[in-house]
Structure 1
Amino acid sequence: MATPSLGEDTAKAVLRQVEFYFGDSNLPKDDFLKTKINESEDDMVCLALICSFSKMRGHLNLTEVKKADDVPDCTLKVVAQTLRTSSSLKVSEDGKKVGRSTKLLEPEELIEQLDSRTIAASPLELNVQREALEAFFGQYAKVNSVRLPRHVVQRKYFCGTALIEFSAVEDAQTVLEQSLVFAGAELELKPKKDFDVIREKEVEEFERNRSITTSNGSNAEEKHPKGLLVAFKLKSASAGDSAEQNGPDEKKTAEMKMTKKVDDKHGSPIDKVVEKENKSSISIYKDDMNVVLREDLKDVFKKFGTVKVLLKLVSLTI
């Protein structure tokens, strides 16, 4: 009787997930998994335990499984069969254990290698999905992992720059030389080391501004570091008032009321904006006083600094 196998999509998801668990980017930070490896004599871990992890249960449709002992033997067999195709994993002869095929490098060397094969990509929307980025960059090279760092100030939300780790340094260099467009936005690609330098400066600026605010009392003017995400509402005004306040070139933008209120689910400003994606649409709505285009908003806000990304959703009250 032939050994059953996983479907193609499921097999890919399972292989990718287990390679991630034992990969260079996750294992050094995974204290639980490292402890299990150190406790074993052969540096391998019970495959049933791996299959009981939440994401693996999702891939394998094991919704009723609560612990490793509940994983069916038939599932372990097909998972072991799939994992044996990996060059970075090893599976025991009986198919009950799995581990890395190579030893983990020393921390300093590991960090250097990780940084060398990782790039930073921006601007991205706050609700971007890891899976979408993995599929997009996977067209150009094998992706080991995608990380979505939090914003320096608003730790609850994604900062707009993703870190994509490839399987080889050469792959990362090749992608850096590409001109890529994701979700309608031209991506700015840079080495992770460049991102780290910018990130460090943002953290220092935030800490400095926070200490100034604290020392001056709670009513001191709040300082907002570079990269802060804000939402705003547009309110209609009479043509005369708009022209008087903003001038003829900006009267379509109406009166702007700044607010930092953000949608709890996606971190996006509330309600909808009329979004136009091509030049023909822009020309159609250019003179419509009831339509606010992205170009109008960028023209207004660029006087305060570089607008890195304009989100699709803003509050519009007419």
Structure 2
Amino acid sequence: TGKSKDKEKKKRSRVKQLLTDVKKQVDFWFGDVNLHKDRFLRKLVDESGDGYVDLSVLASFNRMKNLTSDTKLIARALKNSSVVEVNLEGTKVRRLHPIGDPPNDEDSRTVYVELLPRDVSHNWIERVFSKCGNVVYVSIPRYKSTGDSKGFAFVEFEKVEQAQKAIEMLNNPPEDAPRKPGIFPKTLCGKTLHLPVENPTATENPTTTGTATNNFLI
């Protein structure tokens, strides 16, 4: 009986975490920051007429596939979302409020990072740069043929000061900062680079363009 209770408790914990992760992902997709950049999803929203997007479409995205392909579970996860709402049938989702104009300080809040490993993840970059402030968007362009990172990424912060803090920290890491690769970012040579201009792909890997501030090695 004790083992059964523990097993059931762990199962509920896993389901709760899954619902949280699903809600976080969908809220991000429909949030202002991503929707201004995501041409594929924005097109679906605009062409729908009422702003609704089928949950089956979201379930087909790679990041959602890694979590679940169950549209009923996705609908359940979004029940208390403050960003989106699900229709009465539980088959579609849309933003609660109309999207506003894109911000005009995006470039100054974005840091360009390159020389990244092929298997770098959004979560890893977000965790590393969260030391400097609230990371609102991470774009890692990938090769379509392999899915590997192209070796660079764009990290957008909520505020300009946070992006500047990231640059300062990268150029002047604290003495007690871990020096092992993959733990703490380090400057390569501190020179200014021009960002490559690419066309954003579908929801999975949008590319942010802007003015580069520094060249970093992680």
TM-score bracket relative to the smaller structure: 0.5 to 0.7
* Aligned counterparts, 1:1-318, within 5 A: 7-60=15-68, 62=69, 71=70, 75-76=71-72, 78-106=73-101, 110=102, 112-121=104-113, 124-138=116-130, 141-149=133-141, 158-159=150-151, 161-166=152-157, 168-169=158-159, 172-173=162-163, 175-176=165-166, 178=169, 179=173, 183-188=182-187, 198-200=193-195
| 3-state secondary structure, aligned to 2:162 | helix
Does the 8 A contact of 1:45 with 1:97 survive in 2? yes
Ranges in structure 1 where 5+ consecutive residues have no aligned partner: 63-70, 151-155, 204-307, 312-318
Ranges in structure 2 where 5+ consecutive residues have no aligned partner: 1-11, 143-147, 198-215
Q: In the TM superposition, what is the alpha-carbon distance from 1:183 to its structure 2 partner?
A: 1.9
Which residue matches 1:302? Answer: none
Q: Are the structure 2 counterparts of residues 128 and 48 from structure 1 closer, same or farther at C-alpha, using a change threshold of 3 Å? A: closer
Partners of 1:15 and 1:172 in 2: how far apart?
26
Q: In the TM superposition, what is the alpha-carbon distance from 1:169 to its structure 2 partner?
A: 1.6
Does the 8 A contact of 2:134 with 2:162 survive in 1? no
Does the 8 A contact of 2:120 with 2:149 survive in 1? no
Identical-pair percentage: 29
TM-score, normalised with respect to structure 1: 0.42
Partners of 2:110 and 2:124 in 1: how far apart?
17
Partners of 1:35 and 1:186 in 2: how far apart?
36
Does the 8 A contact of 1:122 with 1:188 survive in 2? no
Does the 8 A contact of 1:145 with 1:164 survive in 2? yes
Partners of 1:50 and 1:12 in 2: how far apart?
16
The superposition leaves residues 104-127 of structure 1 with CA deviations (integer Å, 9 ceiling, x where unpaired) of 334xxx252433443334664454
Q: In the TM superposition, what is the alpha-carbon distance from 1:59 to its structure 2 partner?
A: 0.8
The superposition leaves residues 191-245 of structure 1 with CA deviations (integer Å, 9 ceiling, x where unpaired) of xxx99x6215x89xxxxxxxxxxxxxxxxxxxxxxxxxxxxxxxxxxxxxxxxxx
Structure with larger Rg: 1
Q: Are the structure 2 counterparts of residues 49 and 122 from structure 1 closer, same or farther at C-alpha, using a change threshold of 3 Å? A: closer
TM-score, normalised with respect to structure 2: 0.57
Does the 8 A contact of 1:45 with 1:98 survive in 2? yes
Q: In the TM superposition, what is the alpha-carbon distance from 1:41 to its structure 2 partner?
A: 3.6
RMSD: 4.2
Partners of 1:118 and 1:17 in 2: how far apart?
21
Partners of 2:53 and 2:13 in 1: how far apart?
22
| 3-state secondary structure, aligned to 1:42 | coil
Partners of 2:153 and 2:34 in 1: how far apart?
16
| 3-state secondary structure, aligned to 1:172 | helix
One-letter identity of the residue aligned with 1:115: D
Does the 8 A contact of 1:119 with 1:172 survive in 2? no
One-letter identity of the residue aligned with 1:45: V
Higher RCO structure (Cα 8 Å, ≥6 apart): 2
| 3-state secondary structure, aligned to 2:66 | helix
| 3-state secondary structure, aligned to 1:39 | helix
Which residue matches 1:304? Answer: none
